[in-house]
Structure 1
Amino acid sequence: MIVTTTPSIEGKRIERYYGIVSGETIIGANMFRDLFARIRDIVGGRSAAYEEVLREAKDTAIREMEQKAMSLGANAVIGVDLDYETIGSSGSMLMVTACGTAVKIED
């Protein structure tokens, strides 16, 4: 499965468009990660715990989008857009959405 942010795949012809597919994931951050992230905010530096959560959420959303595309018969997703939002009463949850167009490209 080819997944790209571009509207086409160089050297490949699109044979069929299946339509828009998306994958969503919501991941909550726990209080220990929040505590260590606050400490990092004070002393500086990167928050490895939050970076890992962000990567996990992105990978899950893309994987879900790919599965939906494959179920339609697609072998690629073009024009992919990733959107990140915090949700919940205190912004303690992270929502990641991957959205693109499922297509069949020539072999």
Structure 2
Amino acid sequence: MLVTTTSTLEGYQVTEYVGVVSGETILGANVVRDFMASLTDFFGGRSGTYEGKLAEAREIALQEMQEQARRKGADAVIGVDLDFETIGGMLMCIATGTAVRINK
């Protein structure tokens, strides 16, 4: 399935707008990981642990969004937006986009 943040797909024509689709994920963080990330923040550098969690949350949300689009009969998702939030120590990622059918 084609997925893009743009509103068009070069070389393809949108033939039908199926509707808005989304995927959500919430991942918990643990005390040890939070402590290690705070040390990294204090001493400088990148927190590989949190970068990994961000990537994991993004991938899960995108997969769920694509699955919802497939169930609706779409070939692609355009205009994808990713939002990240923290809620009480939990990391949330929401992927939203417009499911479409396309012709080449």
Structure 1 length as normaliser, TM-score?
A: 0.95
CA distance in 2, matches of 1:49, 1:41: 12
1:14 maps to what in 2?
14
SS in 2 for 1:34: helix
1:45 maps to what in 2?
45
Matched, 1:94 2:94: no
1:27 maps to what in 2?
27
Moved more, 52-61 or 10-19: 10-19
Structure 2 length as normaliser, TM-score?
A: 0.97
The AA in structure 2 aligned to 1:95 is M
Deviation at 1:11, TM superposition (A): 1.5
Q: 1:104 pairs with 91, 95, 101, which one?
A: 101
- Structure 1 unaligned runs (5+)? none
2:63 maps to what in 1?
63
CA distance in 2, matches of 1:42, 1:87: 22
CA distance in 1, matches of 2:71, 2:50: 32
SS in 2 for 1:73: coil
1:5 maps to what in 2?
5
Counting aligned pairs with the same residue, the percent is 56
Post-superposition Cα deviations, 1:40-97, rounded to whole Å, max 9, x if no partner, equal 1111111000000000000000000000000000010000000011112xxx111100
The AA in structure 2 aligned to 1:25 is T
- Structure 2 unaligned runs (5+)? none
